[in-house]
């Protein structure tokens, strides 16, 4: 009997399981320590939760870009983080112009809509250009090549933006209507957070409807399943791929403006961490799976918000917020060890080493 067991479970699997269990034990220990010490009140947890949901919405929107592109092209669009950055960057100039004209505060809803639209169009343009220039010629290349191209494009875009627009701080102008808090359903939340949550949910619902119910959406699903078959069915694969990039770009642009609303400024490298975290969410939910990306994004946002205070504080680590960013990577490793197909997904075929 032991022989059969030994053959099925290799040494590396054992080590990986040990690592995973160790991490889970640490998390458990920290959580119980924090909760039993009662250091944080209920309202603080609620604040963190709301913040986490807002962040999660943003991650979900960006993650959709990753997941959709992965679905149709089987490649990770490393430069998607720069697509995310470019929208709000240009949106910043629009916002400043609107602010100078006084429209930003007189007509906040309309101005915000304009900024979001501009950001979405810029991001879409950059995404489509990326596909056309950097990815289309490499459709049939070995796996490493488009990935490296994506990395190069990502660096090019962020440093081009740095060079073109300068490295000074670009703080979004204050919108008076978004100062302060609202009391929604008994929960006190910051106004920008509320706006972001509502807008994100609307967009996610819209995208879900688009992918599931419209003809183009179904064509996208078809192309992600099997490109050649889709072509045989009369679907213009190139056009669908462009549309996929465009949709992903638009969502990322909107997410960028939301990010700017929450964090009040844009920088040339603001795309890096959200991009990685969004990719983690996409993998968490199952890469290639639209619902999975949404859920994964939400989960990561909430987890990241609660993690420092919930786990790290309990472990006695000083200044736990410094390690917040590490959570996304740790989650990624955990997911890829224990559930490589993600929570909802089955797309990726994992090779056993």
Binding site for another protein (CB under 8 A): 10, 12, 15-16, 19, 75-76, 93, 133-134, 137-138, 140-149, 151-160, 162-166, 168, 276, 279, 283, 317-319, 322-323, 325-326, 328-330, 332-333, 336-337, 340, 348, 350-353
Work out how close the CB of 95 gets to another protein at its nearest, in angstroms, rounded to a whole number: 13
CA contacts within 13 A on the Cβ side of 205: 6
Q: Of 252, 275, 280, give the one whose Cα is nearest residue 81.
A: 275
Q: Which position has the token pair 């008076």?
A: 176
Instruction: Say if CB 111 and CB 98 are below 8 A apart.
Output: yes
Work out how close the CB of 292 gets to another protein at its nearest, in angstroms, rounded to a whole number: 15
Instruction: Say if CB 178 and CB 191 are below 8 A apart.
Output: yes
* Residues sharing a CB contact under 8 Å with residue 233, sequence separation 6 or more, in sequence order: 222
Q: CB 232: neighbour CB atoms within 10 A? A: 9
Work out how close the CB of 167 gets to another protein at its nearest, in angstroms, rounded to a whole number: 8
* Closer CB to another protein, 35 or 160, in the complex: 160
* Closer CB to another protein, 126 or 203, in the complex: 126
* Closer CB to another protein, 165 or 263, in the complex: 165
Q: CB 320: neighbour CB atoms within 10 A? A: 19
Work out how close the CB of 145 gets to another protein at its nearest, in angstroms, rounded to a whole number: 5
Q: How far is CA 143 from CA 75, 133, 296, in A?
A: 8, 17, 25
Work out how close the CB of 183 gets to another protein at its nearest, in angstroms, rounded to a whole number: 36
User: What span, in angstroms and rounded, lies between the C-alpha atoms of 160 and 345?
Assistant: 36
* Closer CB to another protein, 156 or 182, in the complex: 156
* Closer CB to another protein, 49 or 333, in the complex: 333
* Closer CB to another protein, 49 or 336, in the complex: 336
Determine the distance from the C-alpha atom of residue 8 to the mean position of all C-alpha atoms in its chain, rounded to a whole number.
36
Work out how close the CB of 142 gets to another protein at its nearest, in angstroms, rounded to a whole number: 7
User: What span, in angstroms and rounded, lies between the C-alpha atoms of 159 and 200?
Assistant: 28
Work out how close the CB of 69 gets to another protein at its nearest, in angstroms, rounded to a whole number: 11
User: What span, in angstroms and rounded, lies between the C-alpha atoms of 315 and 329?
Assistant: 19
Work out how close the CB of 341 gets to another protein at its nearest, in angstroms, rounded to a whole number: 12
* Closer CB to another protein, 189 or 287, in the complex: 287
Q: How far is CA 193 from CA 58, 113, 167, 301, in A?
A: 11, 16, 27, 13
Q: Which position has the token pair 């190139």?
A: 238
* Closer CB to another protein, 26 or 337, in the complex: 337
Q: Of 118, 114, 220, give the one whose Cα is nearest residue 126.
A: 118
DSSP string of 305-333? HHHIIIIITTTT-SSGGGGHHHHHHHHHH
* Closer CB to another protein, 103 or 315, in the complex: 315
Work out how close the CB of 153 gets to another protein at its nearest, in angstroms, rounded to a whole number: 6
Q: Which position has the token pair 């060079």?
A: 163
- Residue 195 burial (10 A CB sphere; 0-12, 13-18, 19+): buried
Mode of pairing for the β-strands spanning 181-184 and 265-266: unpaired
């Amino acid at each position: 009997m032991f022989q059969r067991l030994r053959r099925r479970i290799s040494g590396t699997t054992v080590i990986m399981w040990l690592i995973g269990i160790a991490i889970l034990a640490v998390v458990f220990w920290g959580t119980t320590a924090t909760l039993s010490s009662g250091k944080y009140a209920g309202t603080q947890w609620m604040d963190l939760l709301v913040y986490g949901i807002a962040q999660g919405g943003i991650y979900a929107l960006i993650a959709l870009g990753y997941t959709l592109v992965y679905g149709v092209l089987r490649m990770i669009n490393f430069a998607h983080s720069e697509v995310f950055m470019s929208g709000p960057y240009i949106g910043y100039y629009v916002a400043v112009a609107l602010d100078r004209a006084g429209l930003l505060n007189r007509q906040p809803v309309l101005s915000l809509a304009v900024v979001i639209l501009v950001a979405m169009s810029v991001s879409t343009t950059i995404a489509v250009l990326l596909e056309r220039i950097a990815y289309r010629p490499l459709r049939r290349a070995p796996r490493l090549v488009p990935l490296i191209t994506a990395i190069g494009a990502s660096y090019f875009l962020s440093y081009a933006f740095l060079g073109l627009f300068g490295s000074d701080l670009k703080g979004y102008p204050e919108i008076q209507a978004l100062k302060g808090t609202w009391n929604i359903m008994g929960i006190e939340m910051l106004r920008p957070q509320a706006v972001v949550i509502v807008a994100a949910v609307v967009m996610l619902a819209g995208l879900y409807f688009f992918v599931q119910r419209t003809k183009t959406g179904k064509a996208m699903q078809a192309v992600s399943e099997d490109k050649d078959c889709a072509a045989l069915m009369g679907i213009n694969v190139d056009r669908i791929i462009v549309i996929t990039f465009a949709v992903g770009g638009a969502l990322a642009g909107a997410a960028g403006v939301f990010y700017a609303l929450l964090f009040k400024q844009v920088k040339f490298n603001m795309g890096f961490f959200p991009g990685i975290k969004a990719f983690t969410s996409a993998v968490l939910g199952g890469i290639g799976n639209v619902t999975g990306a949404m859920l994964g994004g939400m989960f990561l946002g909430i987890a990241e918000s609660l993690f420092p205070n919930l786990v790290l504080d309990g472990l006695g680590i000083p200044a736990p917020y410094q390690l917040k960013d590490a959570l996304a990577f740790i989650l990624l490793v955990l997911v890829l060890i224990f559930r490589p197909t993600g929570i909802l997904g089955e797309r990726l075929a994992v090779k056993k080493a």
